[in-house]
Amino acid sequence: MEKRKPNILVTIALVLLVLAAIVCVVVFLSSLGGGKTPSIDNTTPSDAQLSTEPSESDALSPEPGAVTEAETPTEPSQPLFDAAALQAELDDCLDGLTSSWQVSVIDVASGTVVNSVVNCKEEELMVAADLPELFIMAAVYDQLQSGKLTEDQVSGLLTEMIREDKDSASNELTKLLGGGDGAQGRKAVNEFAKAIGCNNVEFNRLFGEQGTQNYVTAGDCAKLLQMIARGECVSQEASAKMQELMTGAPGERIPGGAPTGASVAHLNANITGTCCADAGIVSTDSGEIVIAIVCNNPFTNEGSTKKCVEITQLVSKYLG
């Protein structure tokens, strides 16, 4: 009988099935590591970052919702004094006086404010004597910041005004603020005061001139000094320079009642029989307190000076 020839298509199919089976076996063995030639890894442990220490990028990228150190909220500072208690003490200290007094006290860190008055109101304009020089000083530093004035123009005059109590220096600085014109300079000082929220400053005439008095309130003087103490008046650098300039200035009112060893940055002001005043920052290791005192129509300058010392002693006990 003649043999039948095998079907070529069936043969090809069988061959393909065998090859597919071989491929599957090879793939399976490779996944187990048995059919793959391992490659040589020349990386060191540091290159491969085998350490469990977090990387620099991990440290700079906090987890969502994490509070970074810069974002950590700080608790508000506790006041150095109880406002109600100090208010009562100041009111008692001023009770019975026949002259007009404004006293404003601010704990610099917490911002706690205590005002006490007798024979006047808190925002009543008071004859200022030399106190506008505080605002002249700040306005000068503002124009230094903006480039309208230079250090060479003003540094000696600032020292003469604050440290040596020279009216001529105050007037010259005022004219510089006004581009050489005293009236424009006074306007610049008043506008600067309003720009920082001190709305009861009236610089009406140059020092030594006749005419309308210059006016301030103790509250506005204290507000300016708080900004300086906080580094918020013009700039932190300017504030530091202003506080340094006032430190050790002459006068015995606030310095006379400050704690032993305290640093006192202040400006003394006086018109005999009309105004007895002082405004300053008293600093110790315990903190900083602003004290502004303005007395108009003092019975005697000696008596009002003693009262300023007494007020300062009363407040300074909170600084240790």
Q: What is d(CA 69, CA 83) in angstroms, rounded to the nearest whole number?
A: 32
Both tokens of 184, joined, read 């424009």
pLDDT of residue 24: 63
pLDDT of 69-91, one tens digit each? 344 444 567 999 999 999 999 99
Q: Which one, of 242, 271, 267, lies nearest residue 253 by Cα?
A: 267
pLDDT of residue 320: 78
Percent of the chain with pLDDT over 70: 77
pLDDT of residue 37: 42
User: SS3 sequence, the chain?
Assistant: CCCCCCCHHHHHHHHHHHHHHHHHHHHHHHHCCCCCCCCCCCCCCCCCCCCCCCCHHHHHCCCCCCCCCCCCCCCCCCCCCCHHHHHHHHHHHHCCCCCEEEEEEEECCCCCEEEEEECCCCCCCEECCCCHHHHHHHHHHHHHHHCCCCHHHHHHHHHHHHCCCCHHHHHHHHHHHCCCCHHHHHHHHHHHHHHCCCCCCECCCCCCCCCCCCEECHHHHHHHHHHHHHCCCCCHHHHHHHHHHHECCCCCHHHHHCCCCCEEEEEEEEECCCEEEEEEEEEECCEEEEEEEEEECCCCHHHHHHHHHHHHHHHHHHHC
pLDDT of 165-176, one tens digit each? 999 999 999 999
**Domain ranges, ordered by start, for the chain:** 83-319
pLDDT of residue 14: 67
Per the model's pLDDT, the better-predicted residue between 7 and 82 turns out to be: 82
pLDDT of residue 231: 98
Percent of the chain with pLDDT over 90: 74
Q: What is d(CA 304, CA 306) in angstroms, rounded to the nearest whole number?
A: 5
Per the model's pLDDT, the better-predicted residue between 72 and 266 turns out to be: 266
Q: Kindly give the pairing relationship between strand 215-216 and strand 263-271.
A: unpaired
pLDDT band at 19 (very low <50, low <70, confident <90, very high): confident
Average pLDDT over residues 261-285: 97
Least confident window among 55-59, 115-119, 222-226:
55-59
pLDDT of residue 162: 98
Both tokens of 102, joined, read 């404004």
Q: Which of 18-22, 39-43, 272-276 has the highest mean pLDDT?
A: 272-276
pTM: 0.77
pLDDT of 229-242, one tens digit each? 999 999 999 999 99
pLDDT of residue 65: 35
CATH class for domain 83-319? Answer: alpha beta
Q: What is d(CA 199, CA 143) in angstroms, rounded to the nearest whole number?
A: 20
pLDDT at residue 96 tops 50: yes
Average pLDDT over residues 122-148: 98
Average pLDDT over residues 128-157: 98
pLDDT at residue 21 tops 80: no
Task: State the amino acid at position 116 in one-letter form.
Answer: S
